[in-house]
């Protein structure tokens, strides 16, 4: 990564024509965009379904970045672009080729997004079809891979773009992994194979881990967002219409875990950035005077 290089982030889980997305994905996309700006002077370009643009824009602003249209966002040091990507496959093919040509992205990262299975169908974790509402970012990711650009997937359930790397493990672990609940009769695992897959118990946590690594590598703790920012982003995301998954409420929270608890995960990661992965490092051996008798 050089200053002003573009990283494309794709997120958003469309759950129907009126219900928009969940907070898992948009929150992590927003805080990762912040980390890429603070840590690497990157230009984040966030792609999503047309119904999720408002939610993700709210999340990005709450993470501390301006949201601008594409061209001005590339000129502004602390802005990200949030834009819809086409649902129609032919339009997606044209748009994807145009973005790669114009932006020459250094990496593409997808967070908690459904991906096309062997029949081209997109599914929720339990196998319901989402195809008609999904932006076809898989096409862009395939184009990027053909162009030799790094592709990264972040997921937690097996139906997310990137989980093709662990197809057999998903079949073993997920009840509806091998056979969906829609007429296509295929698996819920997307066909696309990324260069790297980050699996987490909650997808946002996977992106928090990437932020923590960037913070450690750059030696700057602020690259990893803190619990206050995290709560703010969750609240803004919920207020913009993103649900908390399980109970389908607009409460601030992800995957039915209330927002403040995500702050605990961030606190632990911040300790690791500061002290190393061994949290016992908090008590360095030469600072245990109570043992010197
Ligand atoms: Zn299906």
- Phi, then psi, of 114 in degrees rounded to 5: -65, 150
What mean pLDDT comes out for the span 209-234?
97
Bridge partners, 155 (sequence order): 199
Predicted local distance difference test score (pLDDT) of residue 282 = 65
For residue 206, what are the CA distances in angstroms to 135, 226, 258? 22, 15, 17
Residue with tokens 């898989």: 138
**Ligand 1 centre distance from Cα of residue 193 (Å):** 19
**Ligand 1 centre distance from Cα of residue 98 (Å):** 30
Predicted local distance difference test score (pLDDT) of residue 40 = 98
Return d(Cα 65, Cα 86) in angstroms, integer: 24
Predicted local distance difference test score (pLDDT) of residue 174 = 84
35-67 per-position pLDDT tens digit: 999 999 999 999 999 999 999 999 999 999 999
**Ligand 1 centre distance from Cα of residue 48 (Å):** 21
Using alpha carbons, select from 79, 69, 32 the residue that is nearest to residue 214.
32
What mean pLDDT comes out for the span 183-204?
96
**Mode of pairing for the β-strands spanning 107-111 and 79-84:** unpaired
**Ligand 1 centre distance from Cα of residue 246 (Å):** 21
**Is 190 in contact with 117 (CB distance < 8 Å)?**
yes
86-129 per-position pLDDT tens digit: 999 999 999 999 999 999 999 999 999 999 999 999 998 888 99
**Ligand 1 centre distance from Cα of residue 119 (Å):** 8
pLDDT-based confidence at residue 258 (cuts at 50, 70, 90): very high
2-32 per-position pLDDT tens digit: 999 999 999 999 887 777 899 999 999 999 9
What mean pLDDT comes out for the span 159-172?
95
**Ligand 1 centre distance from Cα of residue 124 (Å):** 9
**Is 203 in contact with 154 (CB distance < 8 Å)?**
yes
pLDDT-based confidence at residue 284 (cuts at 50, 70, 90): low
**Ligand 1 centre distance from Cα of residue 184 (Å):** 4
Residues with CB under 5 A from ligand 1 (ion): 121, 180, 182, 184
Predicted local distance difference test score (pLDDT) of residue 65 = 98
Is the pLDDT at 243 greater than 80? The verdict is yes
**Is 109 in contact with 7 (CB distance < 8 Å)?**
yes
> Regarding the domain delimited by 6-289, which CATH topology (the fold level of the hierarchy) does it fall under?
inorganic pyrophosphatase (n-terminal core) (3.90.1640)
What is the average pLDDT value for the chain, to the nearest integer? 94
Is the pLDDT at 246 greater than 90? The verdict is no
pLDDT-based confidence at residue 275 (cuts at 50, 70, 90): confident
| Torsion sign, CA atoms 246, 248, 254, 258 | negative
**Ligand 1 centre distance from Cα of residue 283 (Å):** 52
Bridge partners, 66 (sequence order): 79
Lowest mean pLDDT among 122-126, 160-164, 195-199, 236-240: 122-126
Q: Kindly list the domain boundaries of the chain, sorted by start residue.
A: 6-289
**Ligand 1 centre distance from Cα of residue 62 (Å):** 36
**Ligand 1 centre distance from Cα of residue 141 (Å):** 21
**Ligand 1 centre distance from Cα of residue 204 (Å):** 25
Predicted local distance difference test score (pLDDT) of residue 280 = 63
pLDDT-based confidence at residue 285 (cuts at 50, 70, 90): low
- Phi, then psi, of 102 in degrees rounded to 5: -75, -40
**Ligand 1 centre distance from Cα of residue 205 (Å):** 28
Bridge partners, 83 (sequence order): 47
């Amino acid at each position: 990564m050089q200053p002003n290089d573009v990283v494309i982030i794709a997120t958003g889980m469309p759950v129907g024509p009126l219900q928009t997305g969940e907070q898992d994905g948009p929150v992590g996309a927003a805080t990762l965009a912040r980390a890429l700006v603070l840590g690497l002077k990157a230009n984040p370009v966030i792609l999503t379904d047309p119904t999720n643009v408002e939610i993700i824009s709210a999340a990005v602003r709450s993470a501390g970045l301006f949201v601008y249209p594409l061209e001005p966002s590339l000129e502004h040091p602390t802005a990200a672009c949030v834009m819809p990507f086409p649902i129609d496959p032919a339009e997606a093919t044209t748009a994807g080729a145009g973005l790669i040509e114009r932006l020459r992205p250094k990496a593409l990262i997808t967070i908690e997004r459904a991906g096309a299975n062997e029949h081209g169908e997109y599914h929720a974790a339990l196998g319901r079809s989402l195809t008609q509402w999904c932006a076809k970012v898989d096409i862009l990711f395939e184009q990027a891979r053909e162009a030799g650009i790094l592709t990264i997937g972040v997921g937690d359930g097996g139906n997310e773009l990137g989980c093709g790397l662990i197809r057999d493990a998903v079949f073993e672990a997920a009840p509806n992994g091998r056979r969906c609940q829609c007429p296509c009769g295929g698996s819920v695992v997307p066909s696309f194979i990324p260069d790297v897959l980050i699996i987490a118990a909650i997808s946002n946590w996977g992106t928090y881990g990437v932020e923590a690594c960037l913070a450690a590598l750059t030696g700057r703790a602020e690259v990893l967002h803190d619990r206050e920012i995290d709560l703010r982003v969750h609240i803004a995301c919920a207020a913009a219409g993103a649900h908390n998954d399980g109970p389908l409420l607009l409460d601030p929270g992800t995957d039915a875990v209330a927002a403040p608890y995500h702050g605990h995960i961030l606190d632990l990661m911040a300790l690791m950035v500061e002290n190393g992965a061994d949290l016992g490092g908090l008590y360095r051996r030469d600072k245990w005077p109570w043992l010197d008798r």
